[in-house]
Chain A
């Protein structure tokens, strides 16, 4: 077994373990952290497959941005795990059956019988000065320009939808009015009340 192959199996084992933990942990924060681990191990596998740029992007974007945001959401929302897991045990046998069938199918279809090394030879490794990022960039803005633009529109729609669905005036929302805050004068805030001073009462004897 070469060292690369050994590394692959290590990463793959960690990935499968982490993915299982994501769906079986009771604490959603633990699940999110295991998902981070899963992303790291798949980034490792991609590095082995010489997709360096994608591996870095996976770590930067998914681990760095998406999962951190996700952790925030998980921590802020009060997720009632008990009700969410209510049907877990009951549906488990069906789920396991489907899992078994799917894994079997995948093994038959994607397994060594069809995609094995003797069917499709491994591509020759690229030279050390091969620049993955430059190659991706050169096709992304030429060959894939149209899909790239459409992807940008999808992101715009996501922004419009998110703002459109959450920004609305509700009676309980409190908001700042900066212009009123700036224009405020001392007279509006402090009211000097003039009162007649109290007379000293004479104490009668």
Chain B
């Protein structure tokens, strides 16, 4: 009996989303198959990795991921240029950590200025992220969305508690938008519906089902992503068809495995390599489960994942 490859043809597809402007704009999403299942459908765009930078020096990052940016991380503009020019970043994610009330409590105006400065120094797409303080983010991101008008940035993250103002700002200034919910497919669907009901075009959305680090809840993110992707493809559920982002670096570089010294835990092996692999393997797993956009920190981890992606396609 001749073997017929059991191919799946799905009725749905993931929206392609383009960010940035001009020659350096990038597009991700657009496939009509599960991740890396190009043998049965079309995968027009490769996943994109954005380098994470911050508006303030990364005092809370562990030594091993601080070091590669030592010379530039005192200034977000230098940091961004370094990622673009030296590391070859295809996109940059600026996290406005300094605006958090428990950190420097920088104002929305300060943040907007940083955004402007960074944008005038780079030509690759910019992702603008708040400090994950729901109230403060809704002021900060509104100001930043305006400051970045017409640059086709990504604004994030809109959450249930603050989405209204952020959605309005992204819409008024022609940006893309990350909608984040907490590890639950129904919450994610619900938030996407609420946002599109405000008149926001669903093809401009990016879903963040919430990341977690390898060993610290990865299996939850992994399965929520797989379920979202199956809903998009097999059930043709339009509310689940935006591409997904995995915000990997911030979850990975706070856990013990990326910080404990080999001298204290000899069984865990070389700390520098361990940290890089932790970020890279978290990222690779989430690509396999459905992410099209990654936000990462360590240059070696990014390079390893880039190699992995090119082997995949």
B and A form one assembly = no
